Homo-oligomer: A and B are copies of this chain.
Amino acid sequence: MFEKPLTPSDVGKLNRLVIPKQHAEKYFPLGGGDSGEKGLLLSFEDESGKSWRFRYSYWNSSQSYVLTKGWSRFVKEKRLDAGDVVSFERRKLNGDRFYIRWRRRPVPVQDSGAVQEIPGPPMSAWTRVFYSAHPYPPHPHGPPPLLYQPDSLHHASIPTGTKYSLSRILEFWKNKIEMRNK
Instruction: Tell me the bound Cα distance from A165 to B133 in angstroms.
Output: 11
- Within the complex, what minimum Cβ distance (angstroms) separates A41 from chain B? 15
Q: Is A108 an interface residue (CB 8 A)?
A: no
Chain B residue nearest in CB terms to A181? B143
| Per-residue contact bits, chain A 85-123, to B (CB 8 Å; 1 contact, 0 not) | 000000000000000000000000000000011111101
Instruction: Tell me the bound Cα distance from A181 to B148 in angstroms.
Output: 15
Copies per complex? Answer: 2
Asked if B170 contacts A130 (CB within 8 A), the reply is: yes
Chain B residue nearest in CB terms to A120? B167
Pick from B160, B163, B170, B176: contact of A121, CB under 8 Å? B170
| Per-residue contact bits, chain A 151-179, to B (CB 8 Å; 1 contact, 0 not) | 00000001011111111111101101100
* Residues of chain B with a CB closer than 8 A to A49's CB: none
Q: Is A140 an interface residue (CB 8 A)?
A: no
Chain A contributes a number of interface residues (CB within 8 A of B) equal to: 37
Given contacts A147-B174, A173-B147, contact A129 B180 (CB under 8 A): no
- Contacts from A to B (Cβ < 8 Å): 116-121, 123, 125-126, 129-130, 133-134, 142-143, 146-148, 158, 160-171, 173-174, 176-177, 180-181
Pick from B121, B130, B169, B173: contact of A167, CB under 8 Å? B121
* Residues of chain B with a CB closer than 8 A to A125's CB: 166, 170
- Within the complex, what minimum Cβ distance (angstroms) separates A168 from chain B? 6
- Closest 4 pairs between A and B when the two form their complex, measured CB to CB: A120-B167, A163-B163, A118-B167, A116-B167
Asked if A173 contacts B173 (CB within 8 A), the reply is: yes
* Residues of chain B with a CB closer than 8 A to A134's CB: 170
Instruction: Tell me the bound Cα distance from A158 to B129 in angstroms.
Output: 24
Instruction: Tell me the bound Cα distance from A167 to B161 in angstroms.
Output: 10
